[in-house]
Chain A
Amino acid sequence: DGGITQSPKYLFRKEGQNVTLSCEQNLNHDAMYWYRQDPGQGLRLIYYSQIVNDFQKGDIAEGYSVSREKKESFPLTVTSAQKNPTAFYLCASSIRGQTDTQYFGPGTRLTVL
């Protein structure tokens, strides 16, 4: 089955620790995205990548880092510099650009204690 997966579903970390969230897709999509969603809020774009080995900052990139070494994978690292990391993180992909349908992974709920 084709799709986009994120792991783990729930993640707990101590304050001050870096943590990496996994995102993998087998849809052969070029573009991938990371969003953050806080309770009662819409999604905010953290980073996006249109092609392998290239990525761009979204609106709230501070305290986050990404890599795009393979077409299928777009991991997100939440660093200790991110002041309020507890949130629901969503990864998405699309064939080429944002005018294409975005397919979302199931999300990772990160709680920093």
Chain B
Amino acid sequence: SQKIEQNSEALNIQEGKTATLTCNYTNYSPAYLQWYRQDPGRAPVFLLLIRENEKEKRKERLKVTFDTTLKQSLFHITASQPADSATYLCALGANFNKFYFGSGTKLNVKP
């Protein structure tokens, strides 16, 4: 069965540094990958989508890469701020009935 792995340990970084989160997957060939932000007790909020034929996508301080050979996506937040502290979820999809979320990685940005 398919498996999506995000680091379950929290990532702690200093304000101003670049945060890099990893999403690895096995037994799956997604057509696209999405990243969401989720604050405690709140719903996820969509951040970025990247398709299998795209290597990199950027939006303001966010950058996502997608390596279908390594079966991995990296999510970067540059010049991180305490307000970026949250749990970040990756989600992979091929079609409607093959869409899966990872369990998320908690990011703590310290001032």
Does A34 interact with chain B (Cβ within 8 Å)?
A: no
Contacts of B104 in A (CB 8 A): 42
What CA separation (Å) do A101 and B47 show in the bound complex?
Answer: 9
Range, interface on chain B: 20 to 34
Decide: B31 and A43 in contact? CB cutoff 8 A.
no
Does B49 interact with chain A (Cβ within 8 Å)?
A: yes
Decide: B89 and A42 in contact? CB cutoff 8 A.
yes
A107 and B43 in contact, given A42-B102, A99-B32, A101-B49 (Cβ under 8 angstroms): yes
Interface residues of B in 73-111 (CB under 8 A from A): 89, 91, 93, 95-97, 99-104
- Secondary structure class of chain B's binding surface, majority of residues: strand
Range, interface on chain A: 20 to 34
Q: How would residues 88 to 113 of chain A score, 1 for a CB under 8 Å from any chain B CB and 0 otherwise?
A: 00100000011101111111000000
What CA separation (Å) do A57 and B31 show in the bound complex?
Answer: 20
Decide: B102 and A99 in contact? CB cutoff 8 A.
no
Interface residues of B in 1-41 (CB under 8 A from A): 4, 6, 8, 31-32, 34, 41
Contacts of B59 in A (CB 8 A): none
Decide: A43 and B97 in contact? CB cutoff 8 A.
no
A98 and B96 in contact, given A42-B4, A106-B42, A107-B42 (Cβ under 8 angstroms): yes
Q: Which residue of A lies closest to B101 (CB)?
A: A42
Contacts of A104 in B (CB 8 A): 43-45
30 contacts between A and B (CB under 8 A): A31-B96, A35-B101, A40-B103, A42-B6, A42-B89, A42-B91, A42-B101, A42-B102, A42-B103, A42-B104, A43-B89, A45-B97, A45-B99, A48-B96, A48-B97, A50-B96, A56-B97, A57-B97, A58-B97, A98-B93, A98-B95, A98-B99, A99-B31, A99-B93, A101-B46, A101-B49, A102-B34, A104-B43, A104-B45, A107-B42
